[in-house]
Amino acid sequence: MVLMELRHFRYALAVAEELHFTRAAQRLGIAQPALSQQIRQLEEEFGTQLFHRLTRGVELTEAGRALLPYARAALAAADEGTAAVRRAAKGELGQLRIGFTGSASFNPVVSGTIGRFRDAYPEVELDLQEQVTSMLLRSLREGRIQLAFSRAADDETDGLRRIALPDESLWAALPAKHRLAGSGRIDLASLAVDPFILYPRANGRLLYDAIVAACGRAGFSPRIVQEAPQMASTVNLVAAGVGVALVPASMRLLQAPSVSYVELSTPGTVASLSLVQGPDLLMTASVRNFIRCLDEAKRDHAPVEQNACSA
């Protein structure tokens, strides 16, 4: 079994290119006797000479010429591997697994963060997974994802770190034929008699509880006629005339011809969103880079500039 090391290849290449032990030793920064000894060790391992020793310099044997392309390839591969390891350590290579709720994908800070990260770290593969909040938290704890944009309550994220995003106001999504469709602003109490479509509480309590609490402050309990597992399906059910819904303001990007979005004048009617981090074991350089992009997108609260968060 050959026990050669990369340095043996480097030494052999230097001698092959200089065709002189002394000049090769000077190039490598080692003593000439030490270089000669290393080459002899390599030849002993191969069981053949790599160089003919001449009065003035050396020349390659057939075995030495056969070794050269493989030695160069091995050294090049080692250099590439070293560079890849260093880039991965800085979060410039690899994979980042991120989960998000359906409504989070419409939030400008979320889309802005993802856009910034893609521009700054194009060689990091983003694995984006849409799930409900309860499944996102489970995936985080089990290590299947590293980060999640979710609408989770405080006690749902025990043991996990959270970074709050700016609160979004809730807007009313009304069927186009609704009596208040097209209004400038309405008071939430004006919807007290309407049937409501809500996101299931089992999928994530925060948004459900925020809507019920807002209705309570407005003086009524919502009459829930239908639950919808995703915000997009909520809007579709509103379009079908099943009922009304309260949705985060960014959901207005989901245009449906039979839906009218109306601002609420009721103060404090908001939806919270946060980036939740998995266990510390999952805190990689790519995660830190993504969080830096989030911080910058939060400041801008707008579409991103290219490479704004590069390291």
Q: Please check whether residue 141 is in contact with residue 189, taking contact to mean a CB–CB distance below 8 angstroms.
A: no
At 93, which amino acid appears? L
Query: From CA 220, how far away is CA 244, in angstroms rounded?
Result: 15
Question: Whose structure tokens read 């707008």?
Answer: 302
Residue 258 neighbours by CB under 8 Å, 6+ apart: 175, 176, 177, 238, 239, 240, 241
pTM score: 0.76
- Helix and strand counts by DSSP (H, E) for the chain: 9, 14
Q: What is the pLDDT of residue 280?
A: 73
CATH 3.20.20.30 matches 6-90: no
**Per-residue pLDDT tens digits for 217-267:** 999 999 999 999 888 889 999 999 999 999 999 999 888 889 999 999 987
Q: What is the mean pLDDT of the chain?
A: 89
Q: What is the pLDDT of residue 3?
A: 60
Task: Provide the residue ranges of all domains of the chain, joining segments of one domain with +.
Answer: 6-90, 94-165+273-301, 166-270
CA dihedral 223, 225, 230, 231 (to 10 degrees): -50
What superfamily would CATH give domain 166-270?
Periplasmic binding protein-like II (3.40.190.10)
Coil vs helix vs strand at 184: coil
> Residue 104 corresponds to which tokens in the numbers above?
């989070």
At 33, which amino acid appears? P
Query: From CA 272, how far away is CA 299, in angstroms rounded?
Result: 17
Helix, strand, coil tally for the chain in percent (to 5): 45, 20, 30
Average pLDDT over residues 170-175: 96
Q: What is the pLDDT of residue 294?
A: 95
Percent of the chain clearing pLDDT 90 (strictly above) = 67
Nearest CA-CA partner of 199 in 190, 210, 191: 210
Q: Please check whether residue 127 is in contact with residue 96, taking contact to mean a CB–CB distance below 8 angstroms.
A: yes
Q: Please check whether residue 38 is in contact with residue 24, taking contact to mean a CB–CB distance below 8 angstroms.
A: no
Two domains, one topology: 6-90 and 166-270:
no
Query: From CA 264, how far away is CA 248, in angstroms rounded?
Result: 11
pLDDT at 110 over 80: yes
pLDDT at 62 over 50: yes
Fold of 94-165+273-301: D-Maltodextrin-Binding Protein; domain 2 (3.40.190)
Confidence band of 159 (pLDDT split at 50, 70, 90)? confident
Query: From CA 54, how far away is CA 192, in angstroms rounded?
Result: 101
pLDDT at 304 over 50: no
